[in-house]
Amino acid sequence: MKKLLIVESPAKIKTISKFLGKDFQIMSTLGHVKDLPQRSLGVTLGDPIALEYTPLEGKKKVITDIVKQARTCDEIYLAPDPDREGEIIAWHIGQEIEKAVKNKAKIHRIAFNEITQTAIKEALEHPSNVDLKKVAAQQARRVLDRWVGYEVSPVLWRKIQKGLSAGRVQSVALRLIVEREEEIVAFKPREFWTIDGHFAHDKDTIVAELTHIGTKKAEIGSKEQAQTVVTDLGKQSFVIDSIQDKTRKRNPLPPFMTSTLQQAAYNRLGFSVQKTMQVAQKLYEGVSIEGNQVALITYMRTDSLRIAQTALSHVRTHITDNFGAKYVPAKAQLYAKSAQAQDAHEAIRPIDVAYTPDRVKGFLESDEARLYTLIWQRFVACQMNPAEYAQRQVTIKSDGYTFKVTGSTLIFDGFLVVYRPEDDEEEKKVKLPSTLKEKNPVKLTKTEPKQHFTQPPARYTEGSLVKELEKEGIGRPSTYASILQTIRKRAYTALDEKKRFVPSDLGKTVTTMLVKNLPQIMNIKFTAHMEEDLDKIAEGNLERDTLLNEFYNKFNKDLTVFKESSSAKPVIATEIHCPQCKEHNLVIRKGKAGEFIGCPGFPKCKFTSNFTRAEDGTITLTAAEPPKKLDAVCPQCGKPLQERMGRFGRFISCSGYPECKYIQQTKASFKCPLCKEGDVVQKSWRGGKFWGCTNYPKCRFAVFGDIEETPCPKCKLPFLVKKVAKDGSVALMCFSKECGYKQ
């Protein structure tokens, strides 16, 4: 009997093939095969709402090959990933197969949370159909995103500048970044002081912090107040008022789900969210270990904390054998699922704890080994006993002052023998003398007043932004990577020296405009509520079109008003008085060459200036850089050449402009390979530099990027295209797609 198994990623094929017999043919969809059309909305309101799907670029052949193979098979198993995106892939390829296969009963949907022989066998023994409720939930999300992106972006083009875009979830995430920056700029630091006292007891010294003055909490706001307290402390007599001893337990953290893995990998390994998911995907799909293709972790897109019973049994045995029975709790630790958890997935865990980090690290790339170690340690630790500390708090008092100090000693390491959380503060040990007794006198030998200032909230990193998105219920584990990737890719944000998100003025302008005109889609609570409704669709408790129609009715009204509102370009007001007319405060505008500051009294007052903005938001006017005369003359009119700053950077031109419009260009040594007549010169545009024909627009030859004037050894084209990867490696390839040469 001939069988076909269709997976989402080709990387799984090698791992799965070792579990199946020769009867099975395994093929991959290479991700999604169909989507809404690129150049039209693809959504038609009605009953029901109609969606137009078209094959993605390059996927027609993939679909054709799979359908051709399906015609020859007796059983067909659709096995993309076990989430909503996987379900829509299964549905799309299943529809194409149904057109060619007469017996629809031989098409099955299977799903597995881990790529093991047991899991795949179990899935094949219990096939089902495509879950149309999950399909509807994915369609609803896609349509919501399409409406916002397709309908709002053109309005931003008209009202701000071309090329801008909006996203239903990304725009809300950007709002979080913008509002955090506003909090930072508006923050006013407050001074406060703490006082440490050094107390002599026998031959030991105890350092304690002043906590109370009289019966009130010690709140000292100035140097003068601190000095007054220090002076009075010198007149006091102190005794040990109380000693409290207790044992404190520290419980292990739950196993990872997607969001917590992304946060821990960012904080501990420095991985971006996208990198974490890419590396985890490899560990899930399988790597070569000891001559075998082995999948190391369970599915990595999940918000569940559930652990399979077999995994619990194995890890408890592993802990007993390798660490001892005292590290194993009487019962397995079970963790409550998060309030928004969806789908019947497990937590992220190693498939087999016997594959320890030490055993596999020689077979993995460095990043794979580091991430696997993190997952393995966190999972094993979550099934171990708590760590225990002997904690002692000592209170030292006089008639008017109270000092306190707490010491902590680790008496049982428990789960810490395997995994120490990244926020571990237990290293800050305070040792207290064992000879202390209540009512014993102690002598204040030194006071240490310390000045502090309250700190503004920190800018978001990728890790902390994921934490905030999860807390607010914005997006889902499978969407966090794409949300952050989109935010970074656009000009709405930049990263500071500590890799924290800083909104650009463009990002602030777009956010302000969207919050004002489309309050529903920019509302954080509404966005979170929408995620809950998408879950309800997947569970069968809400109809897809009910949600979509309800959203569109309000959205379309707001959008119509937004479109018809004033098209005046937005400006950002400043507190700087115009130095020329002295009547108005200057405003920041966006022009063709970027941002500039100018007088709103234009055209009566024509003052403009460049400016710089400090981290605290302070604006400083800067003079425009004057043209720099060069020791060369214009080949057209003989006047001196000069170097100027333009909208795309520095360039060299004739000082006789506008009478002479000569601009110096870098010219290639060969003629245009397309029209055979024009020269090939380097040009600039908003996206960077490119090489193009001087006969434009008659000839549209263009190479985006750089070239090397080395003839292609295969087709003899007079140049090669030069591509530089992020890691600095250089690739040379032929411009001709038919040739395909690459070095």
CA distance 215 to 397: 11
Q: How far is CA 468 from CA 223, 525, 713, in A?
A: 37, 13, 54
| DSSP string computed for 709-727 | ----TTT--S-EEEEE-TT
Local structure of 467: helix, strand or coil = helix
Contact 487, 170 (CB under 8 A): yes
Which of 299, 372, 389, 401 is labelled catalytic? 299
Measured from the Cβ of residue 264, the count of other Cβ atoms closer than 10 Å reads 21
> Which of 345, 348, 370 is closest to 360 using CA atoms?
370
Per DSSP (E only), the strands in 330-439 are 387-397, 401-412
Radius of gyration of the chain (CA): 33
**Continuous H helices in 334-461:** 357-360, 366-382
Nearest Cα neighbor of 169 from 463, 521, 459 is 521
Provide DSSP, 74-97. SEEEE---SSHHHHHHHHHHHHHH
Query: From CA 105, how far away is CA 102, in angstroms rounded?
Result: 9
DSSP class per residue in 238-283: EEEEEEEEEEEEEPPPPPB-HHHHHHHIIIII---HHHHHHHHHHH
Handedness of CA 251, 252, 255, 256 (dihedral sign): positive
C-alpha 189/C-alpha 181 separation (Å) is 15
Half-sphere exposure of 728 (CA within 13 A, CB side): 0
The DSSP string of 592-616 is TTEEEEE-TTTTT---EEEEEE-TT
Per DSSP, the three-state class of 640 is strand
696 is catalytic: no
Per the listing, tokens 């094959």 go with 55
- ∠ CA 319-257-540, rounded to 5°: 125
DSSP letter (8 states) at residue 199: E
Strands 667-671 and 679-685, sheet pairing? antiparallel
Q: Where are the alpha helices (DSSP H) in 541-585?
A: 544-564
Phi, psi of 519 (to 5 degrees): -60, -30
Residue type at position 274: Q
Peptide bond into 55 cis (omega under 30): no
Is residue 160 within 8 Å of residue 510, measured between CB atoms? yes
> What's the distance, CA 705 to chain centroid?
27
Integer Cα distance of 543 and 536 in angstroms = 8
Per-residue CA distances from 552 to 8, 141, 161, 378 (Å): 32, 13, 25, 44
Closest listed residue to residue 408, CA positions, set 636, 630, 246: 246
* Side-chain-facing half-sphere of 689: CA atoms under 13 Å: 14
- Inter-residue contact 44 to 24 (CB < 8 Å): no
Distance CA 647, CA 94 (A): 51
Give the bridge partners for 406, in sequence order: 393
* Contact yes or no for 287/364 (Cβ under 8 A): yes
Q: What residues contact 664, with CB distance under 8 A and at least 6 apart? A: 641, 651, 652, 653
Report the SS3 class of residue 440.
coil
Positions marked active-site = 299
